[in-house]
C-alpha cells in the first residue's frame, strides 16, 4: 500500500505537487472551494500540523503562476524573507 510519508523528501515533493494541483484546479473552477481550502491550510499551519517550509514552497509556486493568495498566508510563511 502506498501512502504519503512526510518524513522523507519524496513524500514532501508528492504532497506539494498534489496540493498545488488541487488548489490550481479549484482556483479556476470553484473559487469558493479554493478559498475554503486555503483557510484550512492557514488553520493547519497555525496549529503546527504542517511544516512552514512545505507550505512556503506551495505559496512560491502560486506566486509564480500569478494565482491570488490570502495575505495572511503570505505573512505566516514569510515568503518574502
Greater confidence, 67 or 6?
67
The yes-or-no verdict on residue 5 having pLDDT over 80 is no
Q: Structure pTM?
A: 0.78
Say what the pLDDT of residue 1 is. 46
Written as one string, the DSSP assignment of 25-72 is HHHHH-HHHHHHHHHHHHHHHHTTSS-HHHHHHHHHHHHHTT----HH
Say what the pLDDT of residue 2 is. 65
Asked if 38 and 70 count as a contact pair (C-beta separation under 8 A), the reply is: yes
Task: Give the model confidence (pLDDT) of 14-59 as tens digits.
Answer: 888 888 899 999 999 999 999 999 999 999 999 988 888 888 888 8
The yes-or-no verdict on residue 10 having pLDDT over 60 is yes
Amino acid at each position: 500500500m502506498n501512502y504519503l510519508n512526510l518524513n522523507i523528501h519524496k513524500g514532501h515533493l508528492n504532497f506539494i505537487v498534489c496540493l498545488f494541483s488541487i488548489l490550481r484546479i479549484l482556483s479556476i473552477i470553484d473559487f469558493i472551494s479554493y478559498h475554503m481550502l486555503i483557510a484550512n491550510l492557514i488553520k493547519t499551519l497555525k496549529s503546527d500540523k504542517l511544516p512552514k517550509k512545505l507550505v512556503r514552497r506551495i505559496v512560491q509556486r502560486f506566486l509564480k503562476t500569478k494565482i491570488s493568495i490570502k495575505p495572511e498566508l503570505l505573512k505566516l510563511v514569510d515568503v518574502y524573507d
